[in-house]
Amino acid sequence: MVTCSADGKPNTTVISQVYYVDETHAALSFQFFSKTIRNVRENPRAYVCVFDIRGRAHWVLQLEFQLSETEGPIFDAMDMQIEAIASMTGMSGIFKLRAADIYRVLSVERLQY
């Protein structure tokens, strides 16, 4: 995921989960990345690349931050998935969902390789 501060510094981070909300919205897991959180509150644009290893493709999403949810059905579903991802990758007790950040999807592009 790439964001950019108001003074023009890009920030790149690895995120655990991109959650499908509906045709025009995605939710990203907010766990540790405080710089990302600060950036999207200053400058709401974000770039996410999702890897599809089996499909030999990358999915590129251009997003715009809308709001942060700390409870509700989206948060609960993501929290459960984060637990599963943490368990699979040996990160139980370290991965902890603080919020589900909801973004509007501006564009989606598939890059085949």
Q: Kindly state the smallest distance separating residue 73's Cβ from another protein, in Å.
A: 25
> Which of 70/89 has CB closer to another protein?
89
Strands of the sheet containing 10-12, edge to edge, are 10-12, 2-4, 45-52, 57-69, 99-112, 25-30, 18-22
Say how far apart CA 62 and CA 105 lie, in whole Å: 6
> Which of 20/113 has CB closer to another protein?
113
> Pseudo-torsion of CA 8, 11, 12, 17, nearest 10°?
-110
Which tokens belong to 87?
């368990």
> Which of 63/102 has CB closer to another protein?
63
For another protein, the binding residues in 59-88 under the rule CB under 8 A are: 60, 62, 88
Question: Which residues lie near another protein (CB under 8 A)?
Answer: 1-4, 6, 8-14, 31-35, 43, 45-49, 51, 53-54, 56, 58, 60, 62, 88-91, 94-95, 111-113
